[in-house]
């Protein structure tokens, strides 16, 4: 790898020479987070890269030194160039000023600029540990498990198996937080959290809208005309429901408390929409009746304004 002083500090930081001071600082912060030795233990190549970044920022991160570097007065290590020092001495200027590009990492600089301040911001001040990063996972659950609540085991990135409590009423896209199950903290800091993003599988019969459950229920013509007591599935199991006589397709029955709970624990309803199904083939007796039957009521289309 090349010596630090032979490389352009702007290229090391990945910024243009015309970048603003804030852009230089932002690029440096991102590289520090990525390359810091505490994040990359026993990585000599990363450590060398980290030193290069620190040295580069010690020059162009300091507005005064950056101006001198741009004018060619100092090199990439912050040392005064020999030709410029000779010129200063010839014209009666002051002596050469040495600069340690790593002073910000190992100790305080005497000027107002100090890269160590950024290290403290990123990795903790006064020995305070740094909290570990959060880790995101995905968990797919069945519709009924999300509606009623369930416990599911999942494997974390480090191989540990944890039990995830899916609360009753959990929604598709909801995020569950397992505190302390993320990345370990640095320097004794707290561990991050595991963020569990839920995906709820669709159900063949139920559809959720808010805290209400919707269900289309097939019924026979006889049940629609005469009424009936039939079993209806809900997320909690089957219940007996009375279909009123003379029910049309589209009639809705409301089953209170048979939905899913909201954040306050209040359950919604299940809305049962009746759907009259005649069957795949026509019953001969029904066909004969329909052919001979003269309705006493007007055509429903006429009643609703259809022409």
Classify domain 4-123 by CATH number. 1.10.287.110
Give the pLDDT score at 1: 34
Assigned fold of 206-303: HSP40/DNAj peptide-binding domain (2.60.260)
Per-residue pLDDT band at 38 (split at 50, 70, 90):
low
Tell me the pLDDT tens digit for each residue of 82-137. 666 555 555 554 444 444 444 434 333 444 555 555 655 555 555 567 888 888 99
Question: For residues 94 and 62, which has the higher predicted lDDT (pLDDT)?
Answer: 62
Q: How far is CA 150 from CA 143, 147, 164, 201, 305, in A?
A: 11, 9, 8, 14, 51
Range list for CATH 1.10.287.110 in the chain: 4-123
3-state secondary structure the chain: CCCHHHCCHHHHHCCCCCCCHHHHHHHHHHHHHHHCCCCCCCCHHHHHHHHHHHHHHHHHCCHHHHHHHHCCCECCCCCECHHHHHHHHHCCCCCCCCCCCCHHHHCCCCCCCCCHHHHHHHHCCCCCCECCCCEEEEEEECHHHHHHCEEEEEECCCCCEEEEEECCCCCCCCEEEECCCCCCCECCCCCCCEEEEEEECCCCCEEEECCEEEEEEEECHHHHHHCEEEEEEECCEEEEEEECCCCCCCCEEEECCCCCECCCCCECCEEEEEEECCCCCCCHHHHHHHHHCCCCCCCHHHHCCCC
CB 27 within 8 A of CB 17: no
Question: For residues 46 and 81, which has the higher predicted lDDT (pLDDT)?
Answer: 46
Q: Tell me yes or no: is domain 135-200 CATH 3.60.10.10.
A: no
Q: Which residue has the tokens 């932002």?
A: 26
Indicate the range of 2-11, 188-197, 296-305 predicted with least confidence. Answer: 2-11
Per-residue pLDDT band at 189 (split at 50, 70, 90):
confident
Tell me the pLDDT tens digit for each residue of 103-115. 434 333 444 555 5
For residue 8, is pLDDT > 50? yes
Give the pLDDT score at 97: 44
Give the pLDDT score at 240: 96
Count the alpha carbons within 13 Å of 100 in the hemisphere toward its beta carbon: 11
Each residue of 184-216: b (16+ CB within 10 Å) or e? ebbeeeebbbbbbebebeebeebebeebbbbbe
For residue 30, is pLDDT > 70? yes
Give the pLDDT score at 85: 56
For residue 147, is pLDDT > 80? yes
Range list for CATH 2.60.260.20 in the chain: 135-200, 206-303
Q: Which residue has the tokens 């004794």?
A: 188
For residue 77, is pLDDT > 50? yes
For residue 303, is pLDDT > 90? no
**What does pTM read for this prediction?**
0.56
């Amino acid at each position: 790898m090349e010596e630090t002083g032979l490389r352009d500090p702007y290229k090391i930081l990945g910024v243009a020479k015309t970048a603003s001071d804030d852009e230089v600082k932002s690029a440096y912060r991102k590289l520090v987070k990525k390359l810091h030795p505490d994040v990359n233990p026993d990585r000599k190549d990363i450590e060398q890269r980290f030193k290069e970044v620190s040295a580069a920022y010690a020059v162009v991160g300091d507005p005064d030194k950056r101006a001198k570097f741009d004018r060619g007065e100092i090199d990439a290590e912050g040392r005064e160039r020999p030709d410029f020092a000779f010129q200063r001495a010839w014209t009666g200027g002051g002596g050469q000023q040495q600069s340690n590009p790593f002073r910000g990492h190992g100790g305080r600089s005497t000027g107002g600029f100090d890269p160590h301040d950024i290290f403290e911001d990123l990795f903790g001040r006064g020995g305070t540990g740094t909290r570990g990063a959060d880790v995101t996972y995905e968990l797919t659950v069945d519709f009924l498990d999300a509606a009623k609540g369930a416990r599911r085991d999942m494997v974390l990135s480090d191989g540990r198996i944890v039990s995830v409590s899916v609360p009753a009423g959990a929604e598709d896209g909801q995020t569950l937080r397992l505190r302390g199950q993320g990345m370990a903290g640095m320097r004794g800091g707290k561990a991050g959290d595991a963020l569990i993003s839920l995906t709820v599988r669709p159900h063949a019969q139920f559809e959720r809208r808010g805290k209400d459950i919707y269900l289309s229920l097939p019924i026979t013509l006889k049940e629609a005309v005469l009424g009936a007591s039939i079993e209806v599935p809900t997320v909690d199991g089957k219940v007996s429901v009375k279909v009123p006589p003379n029910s049309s397709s589209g009639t809705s029955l409301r089953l209170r408390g048979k939905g899913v709970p909201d954040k306050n624990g209040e359950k919604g309803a299940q809305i049962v929409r009746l759907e009259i199904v005649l069957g795949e083939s026509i019953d001969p007796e029904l066909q004969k009746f329909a052919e001979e039957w003269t309705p006493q009521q007007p055509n429903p289309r006429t009643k609703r304004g259809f022409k």
